[in-house]
Amino acid sequence: MRRRGVASLAGSPVLVGALTVLVVVVAVFLSYNANKGLPFVPTYDLTAEVPNAAQLVKGNEVRVGGFRVGVVDDISAKRTAAGSTFAALHMKLDKTVEPLPVDSTILVRARSALGLKYVEIDPGTAKMGYRQGDTVPLSQATPHTVDIDQVLNTFDLPTRQGSRNNLIGIGDGLTGRGADLNTAIQVAPQLLGNLEPVMTNLADTRTRLKALFPALERAASIVRPAAQTQADLFANLDTTFTALSGVARPFIQDTITKSPPAEDTAIAQFPQQRPFLRNTAAFMRELRPGVRVLPSTTPDLADALQFGTVSLRRSPALNRRLEDVFLALERFAQDPLVPRGIERLNDTVVSLKPTLAFLTPAQTTCNYVTLWFRNIASLLSEGDRAGTWQRFIIVPTPQGPNSESGPSSAPADDPASQTNHLHTNPYANTAAPGQTKECEAGNEPYYVGKTMLGNIPGNQGTLTSGQVGK
């Protein structure tokens, strides 16, 4: 009878199906609630106060030393007595963390560049710990983080344009100056040879150098009314020289001794420096465009220094954590196979230069990469607690000969229709080398009643969505 009962149980399709559905329901329930912790598993509940939730959502991970130890169960906003606001994070932690030392710190960090966050706990060393249900005070939410979007926001369009102008000005100032310097060195012997007849001319009586001293006498007679002032000057000089007598030897003595060789060197070198001074003056003139934009970029540079100061304070701790990394890099650098790999990487970089030169204007001139990220964010900007939705609209294709709604033997070009015409530009100009300097993609005009294949006639300019007129 027992065997018949088992046989009848396995042979009942209704009972087997009911058991299967029950197992599936339990599995789905456990999967859905996995981020909130499995049921019937004891947890160590704490509430942490942080200055800003920084786009945390329920179900984000809580980590200690890079390992997941719990999840964020609830997020709420609170207000201090002074009127400022902060966020309270209710966390469900594993029992292995209990008790968390009271000097532990809480930090909201970015898990990826796409905005996913997690809560990092840095356990302290205090003997006392938080009990079940305690609150980690706001004072333990340190240090304050700087997200990648805050860093990128400092490089807005004026900053990028200022940096570009600086590079252009400095590059123009340095371009070709090496040849001028070599030329100056080359003509120096000839310059010194030409200096001799010049000095001979100055020594000639026709230069009337002997009239210099009578002129000096006349100058002294002119300043005679200021004799008392000059006497006071000499009295003050006596005080000065008395003070200098303490350093007369060896310092002033060495200065006097070395002055004649220094003057000889100056006499020989100053004429040779004239080309350098001319080049310096030209260099300063070419730097003017970069200097003009400094007033507009200085606030952004000041903000960058302010944010950099915070990062530098954290660098000692980061350096200690990177010690093992650099030791590993040292061992890696000493590997005899590494130079071969670097040579292959160099070959790769050299081969990629034409591609990068072709793709770079797509961002630096047309801003297409930034627009792509903006549009991706807009595409997934709507949603609910279950997830996000993609935003799109269906554009119906027109009907007619060779229309895009079905198979065709040629591009849509219906002379009797204003709409049944194919417009496609698969290789739009992006201001790349060898192309017209224009940002054609997204700027093509629509020609009604006309089929357009390939590049659009005319220059569409370099202004794209979100850019200021240039």
Ranking 94-103, 127-136, 178-187, 422-431 by mean pLDDT, the lowest is: 178-187
* pLDDT score of 470: 52
- Residue 413 phi/psi, 5-degree rounding, is -155, 75
In the predicted model, what is the mean pLDDT of residues 240-248? Answer: 80
* pLDDT score of 350: 92
In the predicted model, what is the mean pLDDT of residues 277-288? Answer: 90
* pLDDT score of 190: 82
User: Does the pLDDT at position 351 exceed 90?
Assistant: yes
Q: How many CB atoms lie within 10 A of CB 443?
A: 18
Cα gap 195→264, rounded to integer Å: 14
Residue 127 pLDDT class (50, 70, 90 cuts): confident
Of residues 401 and 178, more confidently modeled? 401
CB 46 within 8 A of CB 69: no
CB 129 within 8 A of CB 98: yes
* pLDDT score of 238: 85
Q: How many CB atoms lie within 10 A of CB 435?
A: 15
Peptide linkage before 250 cis (omega within 30 of 0): yes
Residue 29 pLDDT class (50, 70, 90 cuts): low
User: Does the pLDDT at position 456 exceed 60?
Assistant: yes
Residue 334 pLDDT class (50, 70, 90 cuts): confident
* pLDDT score of 31: 55
- Residue 415 phi/psi, 5-degree rounding, is -65, -20
DSSP run (H or E) holding 67: strand 67-79
Query: Which whole-number Å values give the CA distances from 429 to 69, 197, 273, 309, 455, in the listed order?
Result: 52, 65, 49, 42, 7
CA angle 78, 84, 87 (to 5 degrees): 35
Cα gap 277→299, rounded to integer Å: 33
What does pTM read for this prediction?
Answer: 0.31
Length of the chain: 470
Give the pair of three-digit tokens for residue 149: 């979007």
Of residues 143 and 310, more confidently modeled? 310
Residue 25 pLDDT class (50, 70, 90 cuts): low
In the predicted model, what is the mean pLDDT of residues 96-108? Answer: 85
User: Does the pLDDT at position 200 exceed 70?
Assistant: yes
Average pLDDT, the chain: 81
Residue 1 pLDDT class (50, 70, 90 cuts): very low
* pLDDT score of 10: 55
Of residues 384 and 326, more confidently modeled? 326
Give the pair of three-digit tokens for residue 138: 């706001």
Quote the percentage of the chain above a pLDDT of 90.
Answer: 3
User: Does the pLDDT at position 36 exceed 70?
Assistant: no
pLDDT in tens, 4-14: 554 555 556 76
- DSSP code per residue over 300-329: HHHHHHHHHHHHHHHHHHHHHHTHHHHHHH
- Residue 431 phi/psi, 5-degree rounding, is 65, 20
